Chains A and B, each alone.
Chain A
Amino acid sequence: MELFKSLTVILLGSILINNYVLSRFLGICPFLGVSKKTDQAVGMGVSVIFVMFLATAVTWPIQTYVLSEFGLEYLETVVFILVIATLVQLAEITMKKYMPTLHKSLGVYLPLITTNCAILGVTINNISDGYNFIESIVNSLGAGLGFLLAMVLFSSVRSKMEGTNVPKALKGLPVTLFAASIISLAFVGFSGIVDNLWG
């Protein structure tokens, strides 16, 4: 039960409170770039969940059993980037061979998120927060779900904005950034909820 409680706290924490896009400001580039349409945003979000899960499942053992073992913790950024890039490539090749339909819908986003900072951020945070393997996996799933949530929310805001009469000076990116900051403010309201979830 204790385990279940702590895992829920981690999961909800990484979805709502420490949302990687809206609170930690990682992965802003795909957040602004691919959020114009909701179906694209969902595709991107699902790909990010998939890659975050895989990346964590591979980098955590590497950090614990290889880098820490030899006292080379400072190499984690470089090694993680290398490993994640290889992993995404491998996943893409495998997917193209065995799951062509899935590749058609997710494939275009995979190269874009190869070395996305949100993905690297999750894997490095897992280490620096001292999570064990299961906690890391849950945290990465939560981070991915949080990313998906942020993308879907923001894409609906943006599709609402399409039809509005924006002042000329704010058209395009400026008004998008305003909207992003307001959504991010809304997420501040969640802070403190999860800490007292189980009394």
Chain B
Amino acid sequence: MEIIPAALLMLITALIAALILAFASRYMGVKVDDTVRRVRNCLPGANCGACGYAGCDSYAEALAKGDVGPELCLPGGSEVARLTAEILGIDPCETRKLVAYVHCNGTPDVTQRTAEYDGLMTCSAMCLSCGGPGLCKYGCLGCGDCASKCPTDAIFIKNNIAIVDPEKCISCGICIKVCPKHIITFIPVEAKVAVICSSHDKGASTRKKCSAGCIACGKCERSCPYGAIKVIDNLAVIDYEKCTGCGICAEICPVSCISKLGEFNIKYRYKPTQNNDISK
């Protein structure tokens, strides 16, 4: 019977607390802007701060003001971005400017492995053992650390290479952080070409290791009419500020390590390559 006073006391305390709060919010509550409230209801409410604001409330306020786009919420992902964009009457695609891209095309038919790897099947573990079993020490390890971390399942592994589906990518940047080889970067969503190699080895050395690797011949640099490509540290780098997407570089590259993009990277990134023979 000892429980009765205890239970009663808890009940009374809770009741008083509830009443106080109810009256306080009824008579002292500040009217929140309706848009802010609706946007706030869409957000996950985890107050994680991944968007760069102090919490979901302040992010909702910034969204309603139109200061930022709806793509910043990482836990919410594209679903939340879509819902908030609907409320605010903006196009969620317009706000998305970047997609992740894997700069490697070292499939088993163009490069070899030097060793059999028999350890933990994650890229980070693989990278710790002498940089991985591949001949090229710059390339994709293909264990899918990025794919397992991707919140929207936009990354899959095909032919031992990670591939990002630009339709599903929410540009959260998690894959860029987890990749131990640092071969994933952001490229503009409207980019028409991309370099699919990350090797900084000298041309001849790269060529021995991977027939799809950038040999730093500089042909792209010379033939780009807009001066958008530079070979920096033995690797072609595209300046997307200047690139117009004419596609000349992709056509003349002797090892086809510059890829045309669009139509989901020309149906899962295009094949290594028609004019693969360097002697031509």
Residues of A within 8 A of B54 (CB): 108
Query: Which of A79, A93, A94, A108 lies in contact with B9, CB distance below 8 A?
Result: A79
B 27-83 contacts with A by CB, 8 A: 28-30, 47, 54-55, 57-58
Q: Please, how many angstroms separate the alpha-carbon atoms of A49 and B237 in the complex?
A: 54
Question: Is A186's CB within 8 Å of the partner chain B?
Answer: no
Q: Which of A72, A89, A96, A97 contacts B6 (CB 8 A)?
A: A72
Interface-side segment among B12-20, B113-121, B203-211:
B12-20
Closest to A112 in B: B47
By beta carbon, the residue of chain B nearest A62 is B13
Bound-state CA distance A90–B30 (Å) is: 13
Q: Scan A101-136; emit 1 where CB is below 8 A from any B CB, else 0.
A: 000000010011000000000000000000000000
The 8 A CB mask of A53-96 against B (1 = contact, 0 = none) is 00000000000001100101001001100110110011001101
Q: How many A-B residue pairs have CB under 8 A?
A: 48
Number of interface residues of B (CB under 8 A): 19
- Known A72-B5, A86-B20, A94-B28; judge A108-B55 contact (CB<8 A): yes
Determine if B130 is an interface residue (Cβ-Cβ < 8 Å): no
Q: Are B13 and A79 closer than 8 Å at their CB atoms?
A: yes
**CB-based contact B9/A70 at 8 Å:** yes
Distance of A82 Cα from B11 Cα, bound (Å):
11
Q: Which of A79, A86, A94 has the most CB of B within 10 A?
A: A86
Whether the pair B29, A66 counts as a contact (CB closer than 8 A) is: no
A79/B58 in contact, CB under 8 A: no
Decide: A93 and B58 in contact? CB cutoff 8 A: no
A176 to B81, CA, bound (A): 34
Q: Is the interface of B mostly helix, strand, loop or mixed?
A: helix
Report, as a range, how many residues of chain A touch the other chain: 20 to 34
Q: In the complex the two chains form, is A94's CB within 8 Å of B10's CB?
A: no
Contact for A75 among B9, B20, B21, CB less than 8 A: B9
- On chain B, the residues within 8 Å of A97 by CB distance are 28-30
Least CB separation from B29: chain A residue = A93
Minimum C-beta distance from B59 to chain A (A): 11
Q: Which residues of B contact A96 (CB under 8 A)?
A: 29-30
Q: Which residues from chain A sit less than 8 Å from chain B, CB to CB?
A: 66-67, 70, 72, 75, 78-79, 82-83, 85-86, 89-90, 93-94, 96-97, 100, 108, 111-112
